[in-house]
A = this chain, B = another copy of it.
Amino acid sequence: MSKREFVVVGQDGADACCPGLLGAPLGEERAVELAKVFKALGDPVRLRLLSMIASRAGGEVCVCDLTAAFELSQPTISHHLKLLRQAGLIDCERRGTWVYYWLLPEMMNKLAGMLARPADAVEVVS
């Protein structure tokens, strides 16, 4: 089968959410974008940081609390947080001495929708 026989998703700019990875072959450009986000999640420290931020009641976490939970230097934690931020998964704001982080749920919803079976995608993305 040649490349042309695949119906390619993500080459018409109208693929903001669906049909996801499981519905139709992913276009090259969209695959590059999406791979960056999965790469950001492909590290245990970053996954734990994201999970700590995402699950915090109140929605915000001080970088001081995040650093205290790991046996890693603050610059290392800050580097991991920067990669999560560049991937669009979290955002932050400096207030006085400390930086505060929070989850950007849109990107998480988008990823969950991309990975869900087509029948489930509406439930996850909505």
Contacts and interface: CB of A to CB of B under 8 A. Distances in A.
Interface of A: 1-3, 6, 9, 19, 21-26, 28, 31-32, 34-36, 38-48, 50-52, 54-55, 64-65, 68-70, 103, 105, 108-109, 111-113, 115-117, 120, 123-124
Contacts of A120: 112, 123-124
Q: How many copies does the complex hold?
A: 2
Which of the listed residues A43, A64, A105 has the most CB atoms from chain B within 10 Å of its own CB? A43
Given A32-B44, A48-B26, A68 B115 contact: no
A38 B42 contact: yes
A42 B19 CA distance: 19
Nearest to A55: B24
A109 B124 CA distance: 12
A10 B115 CA distance: 22
Which of the listed residues A34, A70, A115, A120 has the most CB atoms from chain B within 10 Å of its own CB? A115
